[in-house]
Amino acid sequence: MTDREKILTALREKPLKAFEIMKRVNIKNQEDCQSLLLKMRDEGAVKFDIHKGHWLAA
């Protein structure tokens, strides 16, 4: 299972903050996690709720 699949699985359960995603998916580097989340957002796979600071599955 790739990091992308793990992130989508975690976000389908509930919206999470970036740090919570890192802990759940076991990504050590924060920059790598944020880069992957932004790339997934550009592709339309995830969304970011700016008011709550949570990432959501699209």
Task: Give tens-digit pLDDT for 3-39.
Answer: 999 999 999 999 999 999 999 999 889 899 999 999 9
Task: Give tens-digit pLDDT for 36-50.
Answer: 999 999 999 999 999
41: domain CATH number is 1.10.10
pTM of the predicted model as reported, rounded to 2 decimal places: 0.87
Domain holding 9, by residue range, is 3-57
Residue 58's pLDDT band (boundaries 50, 70, 90)? confident
CA–CA–CA angle 7, 9, 20 (5° rounding): 50
CA–CA–CA angle 1, 25, 54 (5° rounding): 125
The total of structural domains in the chain comes to 1
d(CA 8, CA 11): 5
Residue 56's pLDDT band (boundaries 50, 70, 90)? very high
